Amino acid sequence: MYADFIGSAGSIFDLTTPLYPGYFLPLASLGNLAKAVGRGFRDPSNRVIQNHFAKSGNLGEIAAKEEVWEVGAQLVGLSIGVLILDTPGIQSSYLTLTLTWLGVRLLHLWFRYQSLVVLKFRTVNLKRARILVRSHVANHTVPGYVACNEEENILTWERFLQPRISFGVPMERMLGGEESTHMDMVNMLLKLYKNEKYILCVEQLGLEEATYLVTFKEAATSMSVLRSLWQAHWLHQNRPKQDDVAAWLEESLSALEDGFADFIKQMEEAGWDQSQI
């Protein structure tokens, strides 16, 4: 979807070339550059969608058929474009040309959005993981993959969702404060998370919106990320009554030990693919 937004922005440069014929080369170059960036966004996510359809491991067949359909659609689109441009009044009126382009582009974006919202993934990414974890922490239930995919907003960036979680944070940012207290903080965190493959700390404690910082140890896996996500949501749901951060983190780890096994069990019962987290 973002690739189409960027591609649309690139085609605006193409659209302005009749207004500034002396700058045709730089405008056309900027348009092609934006479209190339859009393809860079599109191709990796497109592979995920193709793999989603390859139920029998027949990714090559799926990709080949899609390429055939794409080439066919492009040829039909070019033919229709030529017919539109040959229509009297369009080439002679820049306003008509612009409105035609805008109408076709909006229709394309709407079709793209409709084609994406119907996808139902059983795999777990960060945005779907947030929905699953939030439901389990709050209600002790895990939604099925159909309901979760319908709830997932494909246009929202994961980093802007609540609670705010930063993954792969350097230890220097976690420690903060005075350097004289760093060693005590390190010892406390290592002791707390001795059985985990990650370390989670809280930034901006006391403010309305805290940020949860996560750094990973060697040998951390996707399951480690999921465990840190569960703990962060528990912390977000259970704000401390006092400023004893260590006790608060320790309580959250106890809740993680008690509840995470049930979370994984419910995920399996709900039909989620735990081999692709």
- pLDDT digits over 201-237, tens only? 988 755 567 889 999 999 999 999 999 999 999 999 9
Residue type, 1: M
Cis ω for the linkage preceding 163 (within 30 of 0): yes
Question: Quick one: average pLDDT of 83-101?
Answer: 82
Q: How many CB atoms lie within 10 A of CB 148?
A: 23
Q: How many CB atoms lie within 10 A of CB 249?
A: 21
Give pLDDT, residue 216.
94
Q: For the chain, what is the total number of helices (H) and then of strands (E)?
A: 10, 3
Backbone region of residue 116 per phi and psi (left: phi > 0; alpha: psi in -120 to 50; beta: other values): alpha
Q: Which two tokens stand for residue 156?
A: 């929202």
The Cα 40–Cα 253 span in angstroms is: 40
pLDDT 10s digits, 17-42: 888 989 999 999 999 999 999 999 88
pLDDT 10s digits, 166-184: 999 888 888 776 666 678 8
pLDDT 10s digits, 109-142: 999 999 888 889 998 999 999 999 999 999 999 9
